[in-house]
Amino acid sequence: MSLKLHNTYSHKIEELVPSNPDGVVRMYCCGPTVYNYAHIGNLRTYIFEDVLRRTILRNGFKLTHVMNVTDVGHLTSDADEGDDKMLLAAEREKKSVLDIARKYEDTFFKHTAALNIMRPDIVCRATDHVQDMIKFVEKLEEKGYAYFSNGNVYFDTAKFPAYGMLSGQNRKDLRHGARVEEDTNKRNPSDFVLWFTSSKFKDQILQWDSKWGRGYPGWHIECSTMSMKYLGEHLDIHCGGVDHIAVHHENEIAQSEAYLGHKWCKMWLHGEFLQMKNDVKMSKSKGNFITLDTLIEKGYSPLHYRYLTLTSHYRSPLIFSYENLDAAATAYNNLKAKYVEFKQVGEVSVSDDDLKLYQAYLDEFNSHLDMDLHTPQAMALLWKVVKDKNLPASLKVKFMDEADTVFALDLAKVEENKAMDAPVIDDAIKALVEERKAARVAKDWKKSDEIRDKLLAQGIVLKDLPNNEVEISIK
RNA sequence: GGCCGGUUGGCAGAAUGGUUAUGCAGAGGACUGCAAAUCCUUUGAUAUCGGUUCAAUUCCGGUACCGGCCUCCA
């Protein structure tokens, strides 16, 4: 058994082999910038990373998983048009920058927990590591990769010939000022800021002293600094969204390998976007996004959304619409109902052939996950198992439990909240039910249906069982 | 302008050089007084134009359209 993953750097599927002698897989994932709520597109990427994490563990590897929280405002860009995001958020909400950051950080982890996303082993905030970043930049400067120009420290991409390898973009093809005003302090268009002391924008609230003057770090430096601090010089896996490939991850590679003097990260994995149907891209900066709370308010469970994301491959775009979410919610509810049904059957004797069949299914399931996290095929297989008449219910339950170690859909968890907000079935309702029973005995179908409709209007569903028994449930 | 990725049934979404998963929806049937739920069965798709091939949805090329990146974004 081996775990194979698609490496953006090589464009190939490669086997995961830990590069450190202790055999521990070292994984770093780009975390949230906490100036606003994470939207469901952001969350898709974290679900993908969680599936990756769970699959690594399922393969028996030891893992150290690190994620950053970007709580220092960064405009970073070398010729930025925008204001600092954190500062804007603070103004918008009349709070201090750090209060804002903590608030959104808390919400982020509340949302990821609701989606059954395991918390990384180490979560690190940028603001706690600024001194480390300063040292990092100093060393880059000593090694001749950085230059000081008009108040800012820049990384000189001309000194790093491999720049652009990840995204396949040539340094020279990058368009000067394609979308942004050109920064004339830079030597090359692809150069990026490591440390700011001067900005044409408002004074930053969060600033630190450095040998170049009081200022703040460029955005890219935090990921290199913190990943090395916690994971050392040889990283196995670095994850993020596809939008990070071209600039952020390219810059991370440049500054990290320049700093270390050797190859840094082995595998790069990137999650594709969630696309809105008939709509423009969801983005924090445009403010047009759907959060997990939006879905909850509409009556969906966070796990309905998790299910939806599992039906597509992480490297394919997924189209979001409420129609699709409804389909996922129905499928998910049906799956859970199956679990309950199989569980009720209880233990029955299982033959060797049954066990063989079970094992064959399980092997196939693992092989789908181990082939670049192919959750859609694994999910299709789960349904096949659920519907297989030749497999005893107890083994179906066992299979579903196994699948849930990666899917994390709480298939075994019994819903209790439904009973909480259920209307009370009072005496008046009971009386109507009895009245209807009598009507049915008398074959007075008109009256019977009237009573059923009346109760349905109150959200009470009647289901006729044999022997004139009635099951009363809540819509 | 450069660079990535994509176009599969009603909606999503896999796979594949010859037989096109899975879920949701639809249809028919069983059950029911009728329903609901459930179960069984089932219709239906590979953007477009060329090329290679015995055979292309799959490989190659052109076109159109879509998404993303080149500024912080998952």
Rounded to an integer, the average pLDDT of A404-425 is 73
Distance A388 CA to B64 C1' (A): 44
Q: Is residue A295 part of a domain?
A: no
CATH code at position A397: 1.20.120.1910
Is there contact between A218 and strand B, defined as CB under 7 Å from any strand atom?
A: no
Q: Is residue A287 part of a domain?
A: no
Q: Is residue A309 part of a domain?
A: no
Residues of chain A above pLDDT 90, percent: 52
Rounded to an integer, the average pLDDT of A201-209 is 73
Distance A371 CA to B60 C1' (A): 27
Q: How confident is the model at residue A178 (pLDDT cuts 50, 70, 90)?
A: very low
Q: Are residues A111 and A248 in the same domain?
A: yes
Q: Is residue A331 part of a domain?
A: yes
Q: Are residues A397 and A428 in the same domain?
A: no
pLDDT score at A282: 63
The whole domain housing A454 covers 417-474
Q: Are residues A378 and A464 in the same domain?
A: no
> Is the pLDDT reported for residue A311 higher than 70?
yes
Pick from A171-180, A290-299, A330-339, A381-390: least confident: A171-180
pLDDT score at A86: 67
Distance A176 CA to B49 C1' (A): 37
Residue closest to sugar C1' of B36 by CA = A463
Q: Are residues A263 and A387 in the same domain?
A: no
> Is the pLDDT reported for residue A27 higher than 90?
yes
Q: Is residue A180 part of a domain?
A: yes
Is there contact between A47 and strand B, defined as CB under 7 Å from any strand atom?
A: no
Average pLDDT, chain A: 85
What's the number of domains chain A is made of?
A: 3
Pick from A64-78, A273-287, A343-357, A441-455: least confident: A273-287
Distance A229 CA to B54 C1' (A): 61
A410 closest CA partner among A307, A293, A317:
A307
Phi-psi region of A39 (alpha: psi -120 to 50; beta: other; left: phi over 0): beta
pLDDT score at A77: 32
Chain B nucleotides close to protein (CB under 7 A) are 1-6, 10-15, 21-25, 32-40, 67-74
Q: Are residues A348 and A421 in the same domain?
A: no
pLDDT score at A53: 96
Distance CA(A158)–CA(A191), nearest Å, equals: 8
C-beta separation of A395 from A385 below 8 A: no
Sequence-ordered strand ranges (E) for A203-280: 216-217, 235-241, 265-271, 274-276
Sign of the torsion formed by the C-alpha atoms of A362, A368, A374 and A380? negative
Domain end marker among A213, A248, A271: A271
Burial A195-213 (b: 16+ CB within 10 A, else e): bbbebeeeebebebebebe
Q: Is residue A357 part of a domain?
A: yes
CATH code at position A61: 3.40.50.620
> Is the pLDDT reported for residue A280 higher than 50?
yes
Phi-psi region of A225 (alpha: psi -120 to 50; beta: other; left: phi over 0): alpha
HSE-up (13 A, CA, CB side) for residue A401: 11
Is there contact between A129 and strand B, defined as CB under 7 Å from any strand atom?
A: no
- Give residue-wise pLDDT tens across range A31-87: 998 888 888 999 999 999 999 999 999 999 999 999 999 988 654 333 334 456 666
Domain end marker among A382, A407, A432: A407
Q: Are residues A42 and A138 in the same domain?
A: yes
Distance CA(A144)–CA(A159), nearest Å, equals: 8
Q: How confident is the model at residue A419 (pLDDT cuts 50, 70, 90)?
A: very low
Q: Are residues A401 and A442 in the same domain?
A: no
Domain end marker among A407, A433, A461: A407
Distance A275 CA to B47 C1' (A): 20
Q: Are residues A145 and A11 in the same domain?
A: yes
Q: Are residues A194 and A121 in the same domain?
A: yes
Q: Are residues A146 and A235 in the same domain?
A: yes
> Is the pLDDT reported for residue A421 higher than 50?
no
Q: Are residues A430 and A350 in the same domain?
A: no
Q: Is residue A95 part of a domain?
A: yes
Distance A269 CA to B72 C1' (A): 20
Highest-confidence range of A106-120, A242-256, A387-401, by mean pLDDT? A106-120
A350 closest CA partner among A384, A390, A388:
A390
Q: Are residues A137 and A218 in the same domain?
A: yes
Distance A181 CA to B7 C1' (A): 35
- Give residue-wise pLDDT tens across range A76-122: 333 334 456 666 777 676 677 788 889 999 999 999 999 999 999 99
Q: Is residue A163 part of a domain?
A: yes
Rounded to an integer, the average pLDDT of A272-283 is 72
Is there contact between A248 and strand B, defined as CB under 7 Å from any strand atom?
A: yes
Report which DSSP code applies to A216.
E
Is there contact between A77 and strand B, defined as CB under 7 Å from any strand atom?
A: yes
